[in-house]
Amino acid sequence: MAIEMRQQMKMTQQLVMTPQLQQAIKLLQLSRLELQDLVRQEMEENPLLEESQEAEEVKEQDLVELSEKEDAPAPAEQDFREVTTGEETRESDWDSYLEGYNYSSGEQYYDDEDRPSYENILTRKGTLADHLMWQLNMTKLSDEEARASAEIIGNIDEDGYLRATVEEVALACSVSESVAESALKKIQEFDPMGVGARSLRECLLIQVEQLGMAGSVVDGILRNHLHDLETRKYKQIAKSLGVDVDSILMAAKIIAGLDPKPGRVYGSEDVHYISADIFVYKIADDYVVVLNDEGLPNLRISPFYAGEIKNGAAVDAKAEEYINEKSRSAMWLIKSIHQRQRTIYKVAKSIVKFQREFLDRGIEHLRPLVLRDVAEDIGMHESTISRVTTNKYMQTPQGLFEMKYFFNSGISTTEGDFIASESVKNKIKEIVDSEDPRKPYSDQRIAELLSAHTINIARRTVTKYREMLKIGSSSERKRHF
């Protein structure tokens, strides 16, 4: 059979991922704060996009009507095909926009009670290094000791440990090792207790010395039997130190109260506050879903440019092309944000419908739910639901939860029903919290207790959930005092 080349015509249908479509999909998975940053950046780069000074409120009824429109496009990959950016649709888009189409997120005004809290307007938190330098400046030292002390403070990490040797400090400051050692001893007397240590043992010994317990049983355990204490060899330690086991248990209790990371009280990590994207209120016997649009500006096309384009103002070709490009970009952003908010609202409404028992009665009644259930309920693709629930939080009567929290696999019960995996984890945590710390439950025993509550679960599954909850094993949880 001869091999030959031939041309053939064939019709196929495929989805083209335009930059505008990629932007619309990207908007779905952005958090509200990330969306604010993106809108701010777009407003800086696009002169046609501006914030309206007229405050408009998006009412609940408007959202309900908007979500129930059958012809409303959903922001999934296959749902944006009707949106085009060609020149043939530009005039009709402008006409519909100028006739009144606009997106408003509701401008916010603050009274005294709604102003940001004090900690949110601080420019900078005090660090461990700042605290140590403040104490150093009030300490009388020689010039060499002051240089060595400053070098030491610069090499103390956020946990309070010195991450350089005395030799390295002496070399960096051009001082003798004895001067560097003397400076280190002075810093180890600073607050917090245990700062400037080079190991865990030294950190705990510094705290014991400052507590006036040098030479005690506690001191002896830290110097010679720290590893035996970790493995709970209390009888062996008691025999070595010549004391009874009760004294060792009392000393172990004191050691457990010491701080192994003294610098963490001055941690430099910023506190990140979670702001809800959705509020769920119970009114009478029904739940109402409300979008949180705080911080999102009222976007609109600049009336100046819109009027110039509608009136057919004479501009050169390059200026006209630039204005047309920026106008399409602005209109697409406004529509994409509108669709994003509508989709979040529809997904939240569906979650509330599926998880009503959870909202009424708590986590024990959380229902097993997968993305497909919500996707089929609102007629969207699973990937769209996944994007919408990413980095979004819902404030409910039961507390603040990430939207992904409501999606759980199901575990069978002896009654033939299914219970959400999060409910099982919560039950395991309750069992561990109520156990006797002197006789903690094994994973097999926890599985048996769950079975008594009609939950069929294997021991290895209990182990997996326990580790996900960061709960130690029974031997790690056992307490002797």
- Cβ count near 330 (within 10 Å): 24
DSSP 294: T
Q: What average pLDDT does the chain have?
A: 81
Look at residue 354 in the predicted model and tell me its pLDDT: 94
Fold topology of 128-193: Arc Repressor Mutant, subunit A (1.10.10)
Look at residue 93 in the predicted model and tell me its pLDDT: 53
Give the model confidence (pLDDT) of 323-348 as tens digits: 888 888 888 888 888 888 999 999 99
Q: What is the DSSP string of 120-162?
A: GS-S----HHHHHHHHHHTS---HHHHHHHHHHHHTB-TTSBB
CA-closest candidate to residue 263, choices 196, 166, 199: 196
User: What percentage of the chain reaches a pLDDT higher than 90?
Assistant: 42
Which one has a higher pLDDT value, 302 or 345? 345
Q: What confidence category does residue 12 fall into, taking pLDDT thresholds of 50, 70 and 90? A: confident
Look at residue 268 in the predicted model and tell me its pLDDT: 55
CA atoms of 262 and 201, how far apart (whole Å): 13
Contact 330, 48 (CB under 8 A): yes
Look at residue 329 in the predicted model and tell me its pLDDT: 86
CA atoms of 359 and 406, how far apart (whole Å): 11
- Cβ count near 215 (within 10 Å): 10
Give the model confidence (pLDDT) of 205-234 as tens digits: 999 999 999 889 999 999 999 888 888 888
Which CATH code of 3.40.190.10, 1.10.10.60, 1.25.40.10, 3.30.300.30 fits the domain covering 409-477? 1.10.10.60
Look at residue 76 in the predicted model and tell me its pLDDT: 42
CA atoms of 238 and 354, how far apart (whole Å): 59
CA atoms of 426 and 471, how far apart (whole Å): 12
Single-letter residue type at 377: D
Single-letter residue type at 92: S
Q: What confidence category does residue 64 fall into, taking pLDDT thresholds of 50, 70 and 90? A: very low
Look at residue 208 in the predicted model and tell me its pLDDT: 94
Helices 303-310 and 317-354, packing angle to 10 deg: 120
Mean pLDDT along residues 452-477:
88
Is the pLDDT score of 81 beyond 50?
A: no
- Cβ count near 361 (within 10 Å): 11
Is the pLDDT score of 120 beyond 60?
A: no
Q: What confidence category does residue 395 fall into, taking pLDDT thresholds of 50, 70 and 90? A: very high
CA-closest candidate to residue 426, choices 372, 368, 373, 466: 466
Is the pLDDT score of 107 beyond 60?
A: no
CA atoms of 333 and 326, how far apart (whole Å): 11
Distance (Å) of CA 412 to CA 170, 338, 431, 458: 66, 41, 19, 11
* 299: three-class secondary structure by DSSP: strand
Say which residue the tokens 């960061």 belong to: 470
